[in-house]
Structure 1
């Protein structure tokens, strides 16, 4: 339970007034519960979407949902996406890219990445058919946090100094498999609760999970080639990219299969 609370405190802005020591053991244990953290991120956005869709229409509902997704996390992962874009698209040496990613100043590439990510989430949420928008919105943050664990499990930390890398390097396939199984249960339950046909749920759940896992592993391999390993910023970027991919897959599924 302490590991779960620690991850909620670390990954969200939920005010949990419990002091828990940040240790490597709790961090690694907490990685297994990342899909549940994703669900806690998704719930306010889904609730805001449903209410705004009823009162104001789909366009404003999609915008409000995106704002709530950012608000619950404090923009933590969006910042990681921005820093990753600044570093990778600078096309400098490995050491210089890592320095740029650590710099708190936001560059042009970071701004472009953030704007595109927010715009794409809005457009995808607006485009997903009505019966699929809420389950897609609930599933995307769950799948994004599951992808985070795979990104952390398949590559080592790029920087040599002690810190978050000590914790990330202890995350392995055991945590990734556990997080995936937990995510499969959560997403399958959401689909069942939302009334998706029972014979479709196993296939749909699998279809929603495979692309984020592939993206997380492939992205880890890419940044390992460019940077020598992953960083906290690339972990955040993997969440944002996996959420976008999940929403895109949901759009295809509900538009061309479940319509």
Structure 2
């Protein structure tokens, strides 16, 4: 099965810049001096998505948040202790993703380039065209080296899950917040039902953790929003939940804000979350 029918739009909208060139200009330099957290906040206005894929991610997150609000389940799903209890399951799911990554990695360069990525998604049963896959690849290549390490590959699968283009994961997740819900009878030749369900649940856990801090699903988490949430009592308690304050602090923020622009999008959050559960790729 190849990269065929497009489910993810790739055409640029008026005023929208090329994904790769825009993000390359703003990419972080390794070894750069870490600035004071407050000085990272350079754009106090609302977040503007940099690509069509980013826009679709935000739209899906907003639909998910809306559904939680309608169901009255937002507080339940974004409870920190509840999310933290899933870390072990998330780590196991990421282990399965690592096996898949290594299966499709270039054996010589030990990394995943575009051709490998297209092959991996085809094995998952993904049937989107190559330009759409290139967009997802670019969105996941956070280091900007035209390849995906394991952590970036996991980010790419999470994006695919949110966009509803991986049949096996879509069925396992069973969600109703996609703009164009996939057919229920589709399956993935790469994943058995058990692994698919485990990975889908892990992705849901990370999404819930993200929405814990991006309460309006705007597409970014800002430092002042993070501070406000950390200092807000939960369930009538007079003080901040100790687990939260230990887990999120300035050092955690530095890990999250990959490009040091004073805000965190879902992709950056997902990348850092892997490190927190013990799945950091050694560079």
Indicate the TM-score class for this superposition, using the shorter chain for normalisation: 0.3 to 0.5
When normalised by structure 2's length, the TM-score is 0.32
